[in-house]
Structure 1
Amino acid sequence: MEGISRFFCFMAIGALLFLSSCAQKKDIVYYQNIDQFSREGSSITFEPKLQPDDLLMIIVSAENPEVAAPFNLYAVTIQNTAETAASQPRLQTYLVDSNGEISFPVIGNIKLGGLTRSEAMTKLKGLLGNYIKNPTVNMRILNYKVTVQGEVVRPGTYPIQSERITLPEALSLAGDLTVYGKRNNILVIREMEGKVTTTRIDLTNPDFINTQFYYLKQNDVVYVEPNKTKVNSSVIGPNITVAISAISLLITIVALTTR
């Protein structure tokens, strides 16, 4: 009888340790051994390239505003449904089509897909030089966004104003990973030249800083996979604390009966 009691006691202790076990430090800490990482720093530069479905705001200006006027889209007035709210003007935008082109006033179709923003502005200035002396071009991507899913505090789609964001910054926008997020297997889904690519990133290894996925591109999707602890707790169910309490009680009963 005593041997059976000990057996159940050991089984209960093992189950309790399994249910309440904590992740190891190596599974949680970011940028491990970064002090041994290259002390020269990263030399990666990043500027997003224009791609289909991008919405662009392009403003052309010159010394004589009347000369530049035909090359700017007219602002449209958006009617607000609220009775007390006034109508607000909004600049029209250029949509990059599936061929990477925009339809530009006077000039016609211009291919900008695959160019960086600075390259696109340089190309536009060259074309406008045939019509305007010393034109100035200002361009912005208005629908730059990234999506963060999975084991983060606030999953969702986040608009980016600066047109430049790193993977750690995007995760921070989403409130960082939960304790159940797998730090060494972050999935980045990216569309490049009409093809969807997937890459796995290990946040515990600082080497990812020197890869092309340190900076995110517009419309990137970041997915944080749940670790084994979350998967196991999902299988066991939400009442895991009740199970732990029951096992603790069982250990107490077994201990008392073996005296």
Structure 2
Amino acid sequence: MYHRIKSRQSTLIFLLVLTGLTSCVSKRNTHFFRDLEDKVALDGVKSPEEDYKIKSNDNLYVSVKTINPEVNAMFSSGEGGGIGQTNLYSSQVGQHIYGYQVDSHGEITLPIIGSVYVAERTLKEAKEEIGRRAEEYLKDADIQVRLLNFKVSVLGEVNSPGVYYNYNNTLTILEAIGMAKGASDFAKIKDVIVLRQKGDKIVPYEISLTDSEVLTSDAYYLQSNDVVLVRPQQLKNVKLNASYYTIFTGALTTIILFVNYFWG
């Protein structure tokens, strides 16, 4: 009898240990901003990226509108134009055809206005320059400039990895992960990498989304062509095989109890 009880105790301990291995996931790796308390103001939070400099081969959306419909029609009818026709930009193909690509000289060519140098200027500066040029031909023109090729890649432990385009000129890492339908159950959000190209170098930023300090990071606001990599939990493989462990445990328990009953 003593040996039978001892054997059952050993079986119970084995099951508890196995269950712990298959279910142990640190909350430190799964909770966003664990250190952020209610009603606590944060200092040093980054402002939206405003110093992106336009480069050759960038694709721009340029809108020039006036109170004169005939003038607007002249701008929207030019070859490669599409000014004022935002519905033409609803697809990647439309953006490529109707956007204005910055040539190797750093210029875009607009109807009536002609060539405008925009390279090494921010979007705000490009808007102001186009506005100055437009004043030579138009009255009270409303100018809008956006970057059409602002894209980021979100990879790893997210529910829908892929390449995502942004048309608001600013994008946070949280918004990018949201575009990818959020982090997966296996995501280690404490260990996220942002890869950013600077000149001929790729600069990695290691950030933790469990810590509110990410809001002060240079990688909080993403830049065009950034790559966001969400790493997996160390116990991912164990969790993926949990169902197999459960079946194995059930079968093993049955065998042990059977043996204990007849030969214990």
Q: Which amino acid in 2 is paired with 1:204? A: T
Residue deviations 1:128-166 (CA, integer Å, cap 9, x gap): 445556554221222322221111111112222322221
Aligned to 1:25: 27
- Gapped runs of 5+ residues in structure 1? 79-88
Structure 1 residue 108 displacement after superposition: 3.3
SS at match of 2:176: helix
Aligned to 2:149: 143
Task: Count the aligned residue pairs.
Answer: 243
Aligned to 1:191: 197
2:230 maps to 1:224:
yes
- Aligned-partner Cα distance in 2 for 1:198–1:73: 44
Aligned to 2:115: 108
Aligned to 1:34: 36
Residue deviations 1:34-87 (CA, integer Å, cap 9, x gap): 118961565532145233432112233457677788877715699xxxxxxxxx
- Aligned-partner Cα distance in 2 for 1:23–1:112: 49
Structure 1 residue 14 displacement after superposition: 6.8
1:121–1:139 Cα contact (<8 Å) kept: yes
SS at match of 1:165: coil
- Gapped runs of 5+ residues in structure 2? 83-93
2:49–2:221 Cα contact (<8 Å) kept: no
SS at match of 1:176: coil
Match of 2:61 among 44, 57, 61: 57
Aligned to 1:166: 172
Structure 1 residue 194 displacement after superposition: 4.7
Q: Which amino acid in 2 is paired with 1:21? A: S
Structure 1 residue 95 displacement after superposition: 1.3
TM-score, with length taken from structure 1: 0.74
Residue deviations 1:194-220 (CA, integer Å, cap 9, x gap): 532221110000001112211112222
2:190–2:207 Cα contact (<8 Å) kept: yes
- Aligned-partner Cα distance in 1 for 2:33–2:42: 16
Residue deviations 1:3-22 (CA, integer Å, cap 9, x gap): 99689748844762354132
Structure 1 residue 121 displacement after superposition: 0.8
2:81 maps to 1:74:
no
SS at match of 1:187: strand
2:127–2:145 Cα contact (<8 Å) kept: yes
- Go from structure 1 to structure 2 and tell me whether the alpha carbon gap of 1:43 and 1:240 turns closer, same or farther (over 3 Å shift): closer
- Aligned-partner Cα distance in 1 for 2:255–2:183: 40
- Aligned-partner Cα distance in 1 for 2:33–2:245: 36
- Aligned-partner Cα distance in 1 for 2:55–2:47: 19
Match of 1:122 among 104, 128, 149: 128
- Aligned-partner Cα distance in 2 for 1:54–1:73: 22
SS at match of 2:188: coil
More helix by share: 2
Structure 1 residue 177 displacement after superposition: 0.9
Structure 1 residue 33 displacement after superposition: 1.5
Q: Percent identity?
A: 26
Aligned to 1:203: 209
SS at match of 1:244: helix
2:18 maps to 1:16:
yes
Aligned to 1:154: 160
